[in-house]
Amino acid sequence: MTNEEPEGEVISRPSIKAPKTREGIESLIRKLVKEHHTPLLLVMKSVLSKQFYAFRKKLPDVEPFYAIKSNPHPQILKHFVSLGCAFDVASAREIEWVLKAGAKPRNIIFANTIKSEQDLRYAADHRINMLTFDNELELYKIAKHCPRAKVILRIKVANIGSVVQLSLKFGADPEQATYLLKKAKTLGLQPEGVSFHVGSQCTNINNYIQALETSAKIFAEAESVGIDLKLLDIGGGFPIKHFDSEDGTVFEKMASTLRKELKRLFKGYAKLRIIAEPGRFFCGPAGILITQVVGKAFRDNKYYYYINDGVYQDFSGVLFDHCKYEFKSLKHGPKLLCTIAGPTCDSLDIISLTEELPELDINNVIYVKNIGAYSCASAVPAFNGFAPAKVLVI
């Protein structure tokens, strides 16, 4: 393993409170553009903390394990360590990053159900003892390289209505659950519990209800064959706002239902540990991406604005995360239909064909809020020579 950090230049400065008004945000942006230039991804620690404590308040019986794939930058990881958060990792490299940030091995779950033998050995060497699986062959690998590990069975559940469906690639059929848990025990592993993921940006509470009901049945079946499960992992997928006009209370409403369903379905398990894997919910609202217009053309009866960030950089979520963002400009005035494109020579690098912005000029600033997740995390390091935005943590 190397000590290489996640890609992207990281700048840190003393934490300040995030401005709450558009005027406050735009005043801060003007100052930062002069100081740091663009593209610039601003990450606010105060918002990271706000999201963490909102989750703990609304789901007090659920321990959050931050899914670091959503944004693994070192300052973010260190901040969540300081808050007492645990971590969901998917590779040996991610294990290395969270350990370097100060996380304890007991606060890490290796939640990729398909792991290489090399990564399993790395996990064992660093005392990572909680791993997920969803198939029989994976159990043999874990038993060989991480003997006596605590294993959590990930099951396939409905992802209806979720923006990104995560049961297409992962999850055992619930009908196989008891067999797989028994197999784990036979191989000398500790069958610890059940996990699921309802899909990213899930607003359909029925996905969670059905998944919890299925999990409760598996708990009961396991108990009937002498397997005492101790952990339930309800995954991630908790939604955030991307547009100012969206309902900001969706998570609160879902959390209220989740509390009731967890109590109803698992009231007989007094020592049950319940965990979750929020990623976007923790870091998404904390990010503001600041860009500038570097080119302008008139075609197809509208303006095309070419900015210095695109889908190969911090707008990677347009492709990989099916995400739609709300674009704002520091210049105000009557809005006109326009297209926003990135700086590369690839025609794929079109961020949006149908935006409405005031008529802009070269160097005018365009910014996007709620873009702290799956932006720089999945950006290409230097396609066409264009690097992702600098990351400024405040």
| Distance between CA atoms of residues 279 and 372, nearest Å | 10
376 is catalytic: no
Give phi and psi for 361, each to the nearest 5. -125, 170
| Active-site residue, selected from the candidate residues 146, 338, 345, 376 | 345
Q: At what angle do helices 45-58 and 74-82 cross, to 10 degrees?
A: 50
| Distance between CA atoms of residues 242 and 72, nearest Å | 20
DSSP string, 270-328: TT-EEEE--SHHHHGGGEEEEEEEEEEEEETTEEEEEES--TTTTTTHHHHS-----EE
CB distance 245 to 339 below 8 Å: no
Residues in Cβ contact with 340 at an 8 Å cutoff, skipping those fewer than 6 apart? 305, 307, 327, 350, 351, 352, 355, 366
As a whole number of Å, the end-to-end CA separation of the chain is: 30
| Distance between CA atoms of residues 283 and 69, nearest Å | 11
Can you tell me whether residue 266 is helix, strand or coil?
A: helix
DSSP string, 124-185: HHTT--EEEE-SHHHHHHHHHHSTT-EEEEEB----TT-SB--TTT--B-GGGHHHHHHHHH
Which residues are part of the catalytic machinery?
345
